[in-house]
A and B are shown apart, each in its own frame.
Chain A
Amino acid sequence: MNVLSAYLKKHAAMLAAAMSLAFCAMASAQEMDHSKMHMPMTMPMPAKPAPAKKPAAKPPRTAAAATTPKRSAPAHAVKRTETATTPIDDGSMPGMDHSTMDHAVMDHDDMTMPMPMDHDAMPGMNHSQTPAEATPSKAAEKPPSIPAPTDADRAAAFPQIVHHAMNDDGIHSYTLFNRFEAWNADHGSGLTWEGQAWIGTDLDKLWLRSEGERSDGITDVADLEVLYGRSKSRWWDVLAGLRHDFRPGTSQDWLAFGVQGVAPYKIEVRATAYLGSSGRTAARIETEYELLLSNRLILQPMIELNFAGRQDARRGIGSGLSTAEFGLRLRYEITRQFAPYIGIVRERAFAGTADFRRAAGNDSNDTRFVVGLRFWF
């Protein structure tokens, strides 16, 4: 935390810039959300419709009852029948023919068929306004035996309430040390960490991410990212913020933009692009999967790819794909929150980065055995 606070002091201005950027993103995201929220619900509920008119506005169920013999139509037939009463026939609608649809391009995030299937969005499909009225409603036959409320009833019904927000959008937090390990390789030994933390609500979170490595008592690589993250779709968050590299070489700062989320099969994905000073660029993609050998013994394959926009000779980084790391860690969850592991990690440097390493007398490839702890709180 000392490191963080020192960093925050030092880079207050830049952080502020990044945060304002992030909040701009948040603001626009919220606007979008509001537009969504204010869209009409499936069933419009007029504030004060005249009760006498109401029955006429309710056709689907009665229509269903009229067109289908009793005891044969399940309740959901209501909807289907309703669909049939509308001028648009499902079968003739573009995109409704499953056999001709290009399922490969469909958004499988949404398990339902996309757009054209949205009955609510179609004219004449509004349930409460469908004009069909097959059988007269019983509503008119039997007036309700409901007493007219007295003033005392009204007072009891709407007492003065001090605003009392429910905490369904509370702030929570999570800190995960995904990798906290000691390694041993041909050329020495060291420590590696990779962790992330968030604090925030279901949709808006402040993220901290850090990765680093020490070998033979010297910190070779260390970075810290501070990001604002907003959930934008079912499985994906977008993030924007700052990354500070403490090592390698002298420290440097980046603006960071990324996405993270869960791909099919629950593969965790993080992809971040970085924009540094004097036009420097970089990118990092990480994916992880958890293969359950048992519900406690879990094999975690991991791939991390690093890209650089251009060569950085001082830090020994070539342009293009610079390094790729493949990890395979086998952990045992003593509890959900505390799991020791062993693993093997293969790191490979490519192209220019490999050249730099060879020039420095190192191998471009590196294989390590690791022992570590994964824990969260």
Chain B
Amino acid sequence: MSSEFSGFPPDGLSRPSRRRFVQGLAAGGAIASLGLWPRAVWALKSPNQPTLIAGRDFDLRIGETAVNFTGRARSAITVNGSLPAPTLRWRQGDRVQLRVSNALPPGSIHGHETSIHWHGIVLPANMDGVPGMSFNGIHHGDTYQYRFDVRQAGTYWYHSHSGFQEQAGLYGALIIDPIEPEPFRYDRDYVVLLSDWTDLDPAALFARLKKMPGYDNIHQRTVADLVRDTRRNGLTATLADRKMWGAMRMTPTDLSDVDASTYTYLINGTTSLGNWTGLFHSGEKIRLRFINGASMTYFDVRIPGLKMTVVAVDGQYVHPVSVDEFRMAVAEVFDVIVEPSGQDAFSIFAQDMGRTGYVSATLATREGLRAPIPALDPRPILTMADMGMAGMSSGHDMANMDRGSHDMTAMPGMDMSGMDMSKMQPDGATQAHPPGEASNPLVDMQAMAPMPRLDDPGIGLRDNGRRVLSYSMLKSLFDDPDGRDPGRDVELHLTGHMERFAWSFNGEKFSDAEPLRFNYGERLRIILVNDTMMTHPIHLHGMWSDLEDANGDFQVRKHTIDMPPGTMRSYRVRADALGRWAYHCHLLYHMEAGMMREVRVEE
């Protein structure tokens, strides 16, 4: 706890205390500069602001704290009593030391063991915080000492890797200040940490998903939709569409397993009602560090009236790109710069991918202001093309229909603007699949014609009149840091079964699968193929995921790669970290259901 209010580095740099920040903002937020570091005002203002702890030496105490987001009191897992966990501020080049103690009460519903994983941080395997791989977890009453050199800079986050604790509140932001000046300037700096909260015991939510995976799928197409679609598209096309979905035993409204009918969405641990507010002076440049710390929720983020310039992704600088909106896969991090002016308040609006709910916050010139909150966008409907099933064409019984009806652009919600039909295999060549997927009761579909679709902003975001970020717009500010061509390919298919809520790679759950073995020092390519109808954020611990463009060249360095249904994407990995590393879908319940592998880097 010593670091919370006075934990400054002993090297004499003027590192202002939290108290000082608060005072500064109380005086109008007008602190322009406090020496070399930090350059911008670290804008802490209201009780809603996450606690900030800066320094090299940290004491983090994991315990239970009562919270109330919905009108019902619940017990959350917190770090030093805070949800989200305190924002930790490190400096590149420092050796940080973090003593993490487990103060969970005996008999806690969240388990007796805990852990912290530093998401996206390159460090020795025994500091990575994954129980069963990097260490044995932190048991009740114990303290684990994390100690490692901070070799990178940027915005990251940290969270529990034990059971469902991440869902129950154990997540926080990590800010690492760079040694070299950043390639952009700003006057103010805010963390915007998005998350999803449920009053349910997360283990009970998991059990519910096993009993009825479609529990939250409450906007399924009904008889009325059948009549409407028939009127709009004709009976043949409508029946053909229903036939395809019927054959797959799936529903096109199934965008996320858990949505706002279960969740309350939070920004910096605050509901829309609580209205987290970041203050600004007109004309200032504000850096917003967006972190998706949700367990299961993809957020589409925008600030009506403001352009957002994306300057870093997953902590790594990118060529600045100006957008109106971006989609955040779970665990992704986007640093954006906005220049609010002309009005006193702007809404930060984050709706979930399925358009079932949102969370909003405010950027304002003073406390208590609000800007209009936009309505939720229309709910999108998955198409066969979205699922990589566009190859179900000519003559295939399942798509027994003419070319005209196969071209589903005429159908409602069948927006395929992000897709280039010409890229699909004209000869009907079909994606090959691992033999283990064949007649595997854990695999309910296989993509026929998956594509990278890096230029696709994603379902529900195409042609919405706004400039929406897609992966193809993200280019690292640096060349391929390794430079070598990958020595080999590792192809993995994302697999699952919606009705059993079973998730896996190549049809094998974590507990049934052998580790993936990488050779220390090698450069390899991972090719992912999504054989499910869900979108999955795939995260490799310990090493960077260098996403490749459509030509197979290095494009952008990330720690979490979004894999929408129907996609095949590839990225390069430099196996420069010995040890056992977790490699998994960052949807918490998918990981817990088995969509995880151990990657073992050995000499």
Q: Which A residues have a C-beta under 8 Å from some C-beta of B?
A: 36-37, 39-43, 45, 47-49, 51, 54-55, 57-58, 60-62, 64-65, 70-71, 73-76, 78-80, 83, 90-91, 96, 98-99, 101, 103-104, 106, 108-113, 117-121, 125, 127-128, 137-139, 141-142, 144, 146, 149, 153-154, 156-159, 161-169, 172-174, 202-203, 231-235, 262, 264-266, 291-295, 336, 376
Contact = CB atoms under 8 A, between A and B. Distances in A.
6 contacts: A45-B517, A70-B551, A75-B549, A108-B247, A154-B603, A168-B596
Contacts of A96: 428
Given A103-B396, A111-B398, A159-B125, A58 B246 contact: no
B392 interface: yes
B425 A127 contact: no
A139 B486 CA distance: 7
B482 interface: yes
Given A39-B435, A127-B489, A163-B132, 4 more contacts: A42-B492, A76-B568, A118-B435, A158-B578
A156 B516 contact: no
Contacts of A127: 489, 491
Contacts of A60: 489
B135 A161 contact: yes
Interface stretch (B167-175, B207-215, B297-305, B319-327): B207-215
A153 B578 contact: yes
A172 B211 contact: yes
B450 A139 contact: no
A111 B434 contact: no
A58 to B, nearest CB: 5
Interface stretch (B27-35, B65-73, B437-445): B437-445
A103 B207 CA distance: 39
B446 A110 contact: yes
Contacts of B276: none
Contact of A293 (B222, B520, B570): B222
Contacts of A163: 132
Given A39-B435, A111-B398, A137-B487, A234 B443 contact: yes
Contacts of A234: 439-441, 443-444, 497
A74 B451 contact: yes
Interface in B553-582: 568-570, 574, 576-580
Contact of B509 (A57, A108, A169): A169
Contacts of A291: 223
B493 to A, nearest CB: 8
Contact of B506 (A41, A76, A167, A168): A41
B232 interface: no
Nearest to A297: B222
A121 B434 CA distance: 9
Which among B400, B435, B500 has the highest number of chain A CB atoms within 10 Å? Answer: B435
A120 to B, nearest CB: 5
Which among A156, A173, A293 has the highest number of chain B CB atoms within 10 Å? Answer: A156
A265 B246 contact: yes
B395 to A, nearest CB: 5
Interface string B213-252: 0010011111110000000000000000000001111000
A144 B125 contact: no
B511 A164 contact: no
B86 interface: no
A158 B222 CA distance: 54
Contacts of A265: 246-247, 249
A282 to B, nearest CB: 28
A110 B126 contact: no
A112 B125 contact: no
Interface string B121-141: 000111100011111110000
B489 A168 contact: no
Nearest to B444: A234
A156 B125 contact: yes
Sort chain B's interface into a size bin. Answer: 35 or more
B458 interface: no
A64 B486 CA distance: 14
B502 interface: yes
B488 A54 contact: yes
Contacts, number: 286
Contacts of A172: 207, 210-211
Given A144-B523, A159-B134, A234-B444, A61 B432 contact: no
Contact of B593 (A71, A142, A168, A203): A168
Nearest to A159: B126
10 closest A-B pairs by CB: A164-B132, A54-B487, A103-B397, A157-B579, A168-B594, A157-B578, A231-B441, A119-B432, A265-B246, A156-B124
A350 B525 CA distance: 65
B223 A128 contact: no
A202 B498 CA distance: 11
Nearest to A47: B517
A64 B553 CA distance: 12
Contacts of A121: 435
A90 B429 contact: yes
B318 to A, nearest CB: 19
Interface in B19-55: none
B506 to A, nearest CB: 6
A47 B428 CA distance: 36
A61 B550 CA distance: 11
Contacts of A295: 218-220, 222
B335 interface: no
Interface string B496-521: 01011010001011111000110111
B490 interface: yes
Contact of A264 (B221, B249, B432, B445): B249
A111 B211 contact: no
Contacts of A104: 397
B548 A158 contact: no
B551 A71 contact: yes
B307 interface: no
A74 B222 contact: no
B433 interface: yes
B356 interface: no
Which among B220, B433, B569 has the highest number of chain A CB atoms within 10 Å? Answer: B433
A157 B397 contact: no
A336 B487 contact: no
A118 B574 contact: no
Given A42-B491, A156-B579, A157-B124, A164 B137 contact: yes
Contact of B490 (A43, A61, A203): A43
A264 B246 CA distance: 5
Contacts of B435: 36, 39-40, 118, 120-121
Nearest to B124: A156
A376 B212 CA distance: 10
Contact of A203 (B131, B442, B486, B520): B442
A358 B551 CA distance: 78
Contact of B485 (A64, A108, A138, A169): A138
A62 B525 CA distance: 12
A94 to B, nearest CB: 15
Given A51-B522, A61-B486, A79 B395 contact: no
B452 A111 contact: no
B360 to A, nearest CB: 26
Contacts of B506: 41-42
B432 A79 contact: yes
A143 B574 CA distance: 12
B178 interface: no
A79 B432 CA distance: 9
A204 B562 CA distance: 32
Contacts of A292: 220-223
